[in-house]
Amino acid sequence: MFDKEEKTRRADATQPMLARKHRSFNELTAAMSLAAAGKAVRLTVQQTLCDSNFPVPSDPGQHAVSATRIPVDVRRLPWIRKLAADYAFNFPALSRFFAGDPSQAQSWRDAIARAHACSRPRAEVADALRAQQERRNAPASARSAAELLRDPRAVAVVTGQQAGLFGGPLFTLLKALTALTLADMLRLQHQIPVVAVFWIDAEDQDWDEVSSCTVLDADLRARTLRLPAPHHAGEAPVASIRLGDEILNTLNELEAALPKTEFLPSLLVSLGEAYRPGYGMAEAFGRFMEATLGRRGLVVYDSSDPASKPLVKRIFARELEDPDRTSELATQAGNELIALGYHAQVTPRDGPALFHLDGGRRAIRRQGNAFVLGDTVYQAAALASSVATEPEAFSPNVLLRPVVQDTLFPTVCYVAGPNELGYQAQLRRIYERFGVPMPLHYPRASATLLDSAAARFLVRYDMPLESLHPQDDSALNRLLESQLPPSVEQSLHEATRAVEERMAALASAVPALDPTLAGAVRSTLGKMQHDLKTLHSKIIQAAKRRDQTLRRQFERVRAQAFPGGHPQERVIGFVSFLARSGPELVDRLAQDLPPDLHHHWVVTL
């Protein structure tokens, strides 16, 4: 990120500037050599390397770091699929599916130019945001940021998620922070207004997806809190579902589950102000996101707002004119991805990429030249007329939602999770079909948050984060084996080698006496090898019994990093970390998680 000091440097003569960069690069390279080995890193270089060719750093060596962190190459993580890995490390292989390489400065300049060239309903969107923010009593910084969208020079960095209970998993917070960081960097580099927008997918009807929140209790056990399913849950958009008195019980359960810290009372007050009986599920989520990040200028947008639907009705109408085309284009792209050895994230159904809202959210199916909604058949002209007069009764599906989003906002970049990159790769021709510029895509920050004891454990025993993922004793056994006295391990190795050598000699000698004995020799060797392996296992078990402390430490770290065998950022609600670290958690993560295409970070809290 460029500050005044950096701008002054850039005005200096070229050679002195390069010399300073090379000195900083050498210092950072020395520090990151430890990171490459998976060690904890503490960098104290205060100068941020800024190269005009790379406006958004993707090399961890470019970032000043203020807290101990362990970088993990995302390709090592078993849940990262090939497409997401190649997006970070081999973008040319995927370039045909996306609007540009986010590691290249020209891609950003082109994205900004496309956003400026495309007309948007800026005033109307700003008006809708103002009304939403007034209803939610958004912080002043968020309101000021929303007003910037009226400026024809303004662009947006957008991300989004469903309205998860109490803010949702950690990755929701990481998405928003990545959008804010990118917006700050682009604003400083390009000297234009840049707004970070969080799109609440409020018309999604998946109640199971949003109705629970998992936290770590004082003993680091995962505790899941769940709202009871109201009437029409799973059918109606979550924005239409109002919280009842049961939310008070769930808040009490949350208080009982979280560890008692100095930060818990104020966090419960903030949650209680957002999650009140009578508030909509999406509204409550928006209120809490604004309470958490509004002061940093995050603009929260409720996509269920009927005020915005007339602004995108042309998209809905065009979709109905050729109702299979969007699905066909997504299927074509999916087949191309599969042919290249990737996967197709979405397998579209035939018919328009639209839902109809009538208390529920129902897919619109095509039947010849007509359309079917539930049990009712509509002629094409009648449904087109409904779009023109009642656009608020329509909702895009996953293929059309990004186009609707970028029709409303001057989006230069969408911050995506690794699985989102998969379906975004199927959308380029759909954007072209509707004449909407496709934005760049930047992977969200990815992190595992550990307490200091857990982080020290990983470093002390040189244990890769991903080795904790399997929910078995394989990693623990390797750790215990590494802690065995050298004499024990050496003796076992020598015994095994001696047995194999002597039995090999015997196998060479016995055929001269009786060729049929060769099989008996091999069988005997196999039994002896099996017995030695059994002995080795018994020694490991003895080590386990002797060193229960090491086992407890191992299990404590795994409970934090992979609760229930799942990556922490996908399971544990970020309220769990706010309860432990307080509001400064947001500032810490904003500082310690710079935009980075290549790494997952283990961060010490």
Q: Looking at 380, 408, 436, which one is the last position of a domain? A: 408
Is the pLDDT at 59 greater than 60? The verdict is: no
Q: Is 215 helix (H, G, I), strand (E, B) or coil?
A: strand
CA dihedral 562, 566, 568, 574 (to 10 degrees): -140
CA dist., res. 160 & res. 499, Å (int): 62
Is the pLDDT at 61 greater than 50? The verdict is: no
Is the pLDDT at 590 greater than 50? The verdict is: yes
The reply to whether 443 falls in a domain is no
**pLDDT in the model for residue 487:** 60
Do 88 and 597 contact (CB within 8 A), yes or no? yes
pLDDT band per the 50, 70, 90 thresholds, residue 125: very high
Structural domain count, the chain: 2
The reply to whether 452 falls in a domain is no
Is the pLDDT at 13 greater than 90? The verdict is: no
pLDDT band per the 50, 70, 90 thresholds, residue 232: confident
The reply to whether 54 falls in a domain is no
Q: Looking at 542, 559, 583, which one is the last position of a domain? A: 542
Q: Of 599, 591, 596, 600, nearest to 64 (Cα)?
A: 591
Chain segment 523-580, per-residue pLDDT in tens: 776 787 777 778 777 776 776 666 788 889 999 999 999 999 999 999 999 999 999 9
The reply to whether 459 falls in a domain is no
Is the pLDDT at 394 greater than 50? The verdict is: yes
Q: Of 44, 3, 9, 10, nearest to 27 (Cα)?
A: 44
pLDDT above 70 coverage of the chain, percent: 85
Residue 322: is it exposed, middle or buried by C-beta count within 10 angstroms (0-12/13-18/19+)? exposed
The reply to whether 336 falls in a domain is yes
The reply to whether 357 falls in a domain is yes
Q: Looking at 379, 408, 437, which one is the last position of a domain? A: 408
Chain segment 77-117, per-residue pLDDT in tens: 999 999 999 999 999 999 999 999 999 999 999 999 999 99
Query: For 297, left (φ over 0), alpha (ψ -120 to 50), or beta?
Result: left
pLDDT band per the 50, 70, 90 thresholds, residue 19: very low
**pLDDT in the model for residue 482:** 79
What ranges make up the beta strands (E) of 534-587? none
Is the pLDDT at 584 greater than 90? The verdict is: yes
The reply to whether 124 falls in a domain is no
pLDDT band per the 50, 70, 90 thresholds, residue 33: very low
The reply to whether 104 falls in a domain is no
Is the pLDDT at 408 greater than 50? The verdict is: yes
pLDDT band per the 50, 70, 90 thresholds, residue 233: confident
Segments forming the whole domain that contains residue 538: 491-542
